[in-house]
A and B are shown apart, each in its own frame.
Chain A
Amino acid sequence: MIDIGTIPVFGLNKDDKSHYMLGNMNYLTQFHIKNCSEYKTLMEKFGKIKHTYKEISDVPFIPVRLFKHTNLLSVPKKNIVKTMTSSGTTGQGVSQIFLDSDTSSLQVKVLSKIMSDFIGTKRLPMLVIDSKSIISNREKFSARTAGVLGFSMFGRDVEFALDEDMSMNFERVERFLDKYKSDNILIFGFTSIIWRHFVLELEELGKHLSMSKGILFHGGGWKQLENQSVDNSEFKNRISGISNITNIHNYYGMVEQTGSIFVECEYGFFHTPSFSDVIIRSHQTHSSEEIGITGLIQLLSVIPKSYPGHSILTEDLGTICGIDDCKCGRKGKYFKVHGRIKSAEIRGCSDTYT
């Protein structure tokens, strides 16, 4: 079992972090080779099997998209307590991630450590910018459900701002804000939903909510906002314009490594906690890139044990901006994310009647 107990979440310097991550990555890689036959086959055929990997960048990875097409498990099926699914881009199918109780509880522990660094250890009154209906189906966990439930652990008296038709219920929200007007409150939602159903709706109605003590966390990607040319600073400005919230944190993470999120610090960088790491790789050679170079984001996390997702190559582009020296004081790599690599037209003459 991976130990995270006494490790400071953003306190390991480069050498300590490498040592800690490498040990765990070696352990997990061997564990998955031993327990997931598909993973072992893949590693064998790609010539990646070694007893120990000397550098963190030598640890093999698998493409994140593989979870969309193949059921990958490293524990007996009967031990699976939860199956998570990605939101799924059109036509691509959805990822299926299988969790046993150990992996599931490690997700919670890691996420708690990360969050406590931003909001403290006390639970805060929490407002979810979403509708309660998305958590009603507890069998299938979508990224949105998992996000809301995961973050709810850090809140109390959780209230949902939107009705089932995704419209703002002002009465409910104002009652909530009134009740906790002297407290810090935790606000959570998906970036695109906050934009569409909170920012744009309040702007259209000319409404203003006083939420200056709010700490907002949002994630899930910028794709829909990019189409409207909304970037992070525009997003922040518009939110504070309607609500006075200034403490706003975007986070980056994916269902394939739930729990292992990268939260944006006060200076606008995503931070790697002690329990996960980021490597940037060239899409042409898969070799690891230096600080400042943009490439594919590889994510490493100590959490995934019931499925071989401890080292995955994503389809997102990012840049590492530095290690251990962010002005916010957190140790570890800090980075930027530039969105998904674009899909392109495929030539050829197979079934193309459109």
Chain B
Amino acid sequence: MIHIPEEIHNKTTFLTRGSKTISNTPCIVFDESRINFLSDLSKSLLSKANIREYPDIATFAFWCRKSNLMRIAKNQTDKNLRLGVGLAFHISPSNVPVNFAFSLAFGVLSGNICVVRLPSEDHISALIIIDEINTLLNNKKYGYDSNFIHLIKFERDDRVNQFWMSIADARVVWGGDNTVELMRSYKCKPRSREVVFPDRFSLSTIRAKCLLDLNKNEIQTLCENLFNDIYVMDQNACTSPQLLAWVGDSSIILEAKKILWDAFIRYVKSKHKLEPIHYMDKYVNACENAILNENVASVKHDNNLLFNIELSHFSDHQQSQRGYFGTVHEISIKNLNELSEIIDDRCQTLTYFGFDVEELKSFVVSNKLRGIDRIVPIGRSLDMGVIWDGYNIIEHLSRIVHIN
């Protein structure tokens, strides 16, 4: 048991039951009662009458239903005995409200006692989940002597951060480069582990020829998928595609673009409600982009829902050319390999259409890419999982007990 000093305790708001001491006792990974806890959480969230109003909660709840957790446990190929490292301290990001819950679930499944700092600003989706967690924690059936989930808030404070860092066996830091840098500035335990999520850049690729083969319904499905990637998180998640590389002959690309964007605009129109300020933000962003970057050839926005920024060539700082709320930077290339020019360690997700898996594997291997941690079909950029940003988070947050 670790004693929480009075000063730290006073500066901390406990969203789960408060305590002056905290355990750092691990348990085995995928502990049965913890799987039950999460799947009960899933059930109670999914049974909420208004769950449809909160697609982010639904996504989380769907992910942590029992069958999925069992599948994840089974897929862990590692046959070693694994236990949590002890106490995992999480910094969750303020603008993806349910990320705290995923981070927590990863830590819990890894067998750790989890302390999660929530962002200062309350978000309704987070509050709903916290509420259910508390209901479950108060239920004795999970059989824990001490709580294994501590959700807290505190004002940005060096001493509080330093305290948690000094006792954490693992730290999980969401929130971008600056946050990662800040958290690294605190002294940690010699053996403490780190899972960090700094700023990333994600991109998408379409083989134009394959798009021409699609019938109307298939185009519609592609539009829906693209919509999920681009608009659901306002294109502001680390997985949101910023660049779309069209692969093929220029005449075919031209034809494919027309088909896709015409259908896409129609679909977006039917779906999306952006705030007026978002239209303005992306308009201003596109104007600045056009002025400052010589590789911007043209900007099209027949409807302000979507800004198509056509690039003549890759820029030296391609990853800084970003857009939000439906801004697609497009480039045409003959061969997927040309894309390797801009791939570095900051690249996270490549979403694709019209390529097969072997081809994509060979793209990564033959170009000896330093980046891209994840390659998924268009539409699945936001699918969260225990393998993220190149980590198997469960493995990272647990230790092997090697027995011979």
A63 touches B287 (CB 8 A): yes
The answer to whether B296 and A45 have CB atoms under 8 Å apart is yes
**Contact B275–A349 (Cβ < 8 Å):** no
Q: What 4 A-B pairs are tightest by C-beta distance, nearest first? A: A348-B236, A351-B176, A353-B179, A352-B94
With A45-B298, A283-B304, A352-B176: A315-B99 Cβ-Cβ less than 8 Å: no
Apart from A284-B305, A341-B275: 20 A-B pairs, beta carbons within 8 A: A41-B290, A42-B290, A45-B296, A45-B297, A45-B299, A47-B298, A70-B292, A283-B279, A284-B304, A285-B304, A341-B276, A346-B95, A346-B234, A347-B233, A349-B238, A351-B178, A353-B91, A353-B94, A353-B156, A353-B179
- A47–B299 Cα gap in the complex (Å)? 8
Inter-chain contact A341/B280, CB cutoff 8 Å: yes
Name the distance in Å between B18's Cβ and chain A's nearest Cβ.
22
Given the known interface contacts A46-B299, A352-B179, A353-B178, the answer about A347 and B284 at a Cβ–Cβ threshold of 8 Å is no
Name A110-162 residues within 8 Å CB distance of B: none
CB contact under 8 A between A353 and B182, given known A38-B291, A283-B276: yes
- Is A1 interfacial (CB-CB < 8 Å)? no
In contact, B290 and A349 (Cβ under 8 angstroms): no
Q: What is the bound-complex CA distance between A77 and B379, given in angstroms? A: 50
- The answer to the question of B303 belonging to the interface, with a C-beta cut-off of 8 Å to chain A, is yes
The yes or no answer to B197 lying at the interface (CB within 8 A) is: yes
Interface: B237 (CB within 8 A): yes
A74 to chain B, nearest CB (A): 14
- CB < 8 Å: which of B236, B276, B300 contacts A346? B236
B283 within 8 A of A: yes
Total number of residue pairs linking A and B with CB closer than 8 Å: 129
Query: Size of chain B's interface in residues, with CB distance under 8 A?
Result: 49
A343 to B96, CA, bound (A): 18
Instruction: List B171-201 residues whose CB lies under 8 Å from chain A.
Output: 174-179, 182, 197, 199
Asked whether B120 is an interface residue with its Cβ less than 8 Å from the other chain, the reply is yes
Q: Does B95 contact A344, Cβ atoms closer than 8 Å?
A: no
B145 close to chain A: CB less than 8 A: no
Ordered by A's residue number, 18 sampled pairs between the chains whose C-beta atoms are within 8 Å are A38-B291, A63-B284, A65-B284, A66-B288, A69-B284, A283-B279, A283-B280, A284-B304, A315-B280, A344-B275, A345-B95, A347-B237, A348-B234, A348-B238, A349-B174, A352-B119, A353-B91, A353-B182
Interface size on A, residues (CB 8 A): 34
Could you tell me the distance between the alpha carbons of A238 and B236 in the complex, rounded to whole angstroms? 46
List A contacts of B156 (CB < 8 A). Answer: 353-354
A230 interfacial by beta-carbon distance below 8 Å: no
Give Cα distance in the complex from A97 to B277, angstroms: 23
> What is the CB-to-nearest-CB distance from B201 to chain A, in angstroms, rounded to a whole number?
10
Residues of B within 8 A of A63 (CB): 280, 283-284, 287
Closest Cβ–Cβ distance, residue A48 to chain B (whole Å): 10
Q: How far is the CA of A231 from the CA of B200 in the complex (A)?
A: 46
Question: Which residues of A from 25 to 71 have beta carbons under 8 Å from B?
Answer: 38, 41-42, 45-47, 62-63, 65-66, 69-70
B-side contacts of A349, CB under 8 Å: 93, 95-96, 99, 174-176, 197, 236-238
CB distance A348 to B233 under 8 Å?
yes
Q: How far is the CA of A66 from the CA of B300 in the complex (A)?
A: 18
Closest A residue by C-beta to B92? A352
Residues of B within 8 A of A41 (CB): 290-291
Task: Check: B278 CB closer than 8 A to any chain A CB.
Answer: yes
Interface residue A342 (Cβ < 8 Å from any Cβ of B) = yes
On chain A, the residues within 8 Å of B298 by CB distance are 45-47
User: Is A350's CB within 8 Å of the partner chain B?
Assistant: yes
If A285-B303, A342-B275 touch, does A350 touch B176 (CB 8 Å cutoff)? yes
A286: interface (CB < 8 Å): yes
